[in-house]
Amino acid sequence: MTPWVISSQKYHFCYLRQTTQPAYDEVFPTVPAGCMSDLAAPSAPSLRAIFAGEARVHMAALDAGLAALARGAAAHARDAMLDALHTLAGAARAVDLRELEWLSQALERVIGAAAKANAELSAPRRALLAEAVALAHQLLGGAGEHSGKRPLTLVAQLDALARELAVVTPCNRSPEHRTATP
């Protein structure tokens, strides 16, 4: 069996990974500053503090992306939102904020499906995204307090929207985009 070691990831989050390299304590006698030293507590306060600071940056990117979607600047907004959502979901998992992780993943599926279909999001669809982002802000403000069934309901609604968008492809979204077959 290979030993588990601490590795640093983008934004200085620490995580465990298996390695075939020498044991971590053989290479570095002490844990680097900023990484958790108690491996039994993956949601240590210092890691949560790092996460909170980084999450605020990603939430600001989501807010800006929603505003850009409303203005019609979809392509750039979707790319920035996908990056922020992917990082936020992974970081939420690292600090055991499951509801935020699920919500981020569902939002990522919707934005990804819209990007793949090159579909514009209507006002009701953007309102659903805005509601999900607002709930993500609340989950961050409550430091992971459970808010009942609301996150799960929103995740289900977002998944339904992602499935709907996945059916819409660039060649079948409207009659003027179809090509005639001989």
Position 143, amino acid: A
Alpha-carbon distances of 117 from 20, 86, 93, 120, rounded to whole Å: 42, 19, 28, 9
The answer, yes or no, to whether residue 182 has pLDDT greater than 90, is: no
3-class SS at 149?
Answer: coil
> Which of 178, 50, 69 is closest to 120 using CA atoms?
69
The answer, yes or no, to whether residue 91 has pLDDT greater than 60, is: yes
In this structure, of 40-49, 101-110, 127-136, the range with the lowest mean pLDDT score is: 40-49
pLDDT tens profile 34-49? 554 444 445 467 788 8
pLDDT tens profile 139-174? 988 755 555 678 899 999 999 999 999 886 555 455
Count other Cβ atoms within 10 Å, centred on residue 55. Answer: 25
- Residues spanned by CATH 1.20.120.160 within the chain? 45-167
| Alpha helix ranges (H) inside 72-122 | 74-94, 98-117
Count other Cβ atoms within 10 Å, centred on residue 13. Answer: 20
Q: Measured between alpha carbons, how far is 159 from 13 in angstroms, rounded to an integer?
A: 28
- Let me know if 172 is exposed, middle or buried by CB neighbors in 10 A (0-12, 13-18, 19+): exposed
CATH number of 45-167: 1.20.120.160
Q: Measured between alpha carbons, how far is 15 from 133 in angstroms, rounded to an integer?
A: 26
pLDDT of residue 72: 83
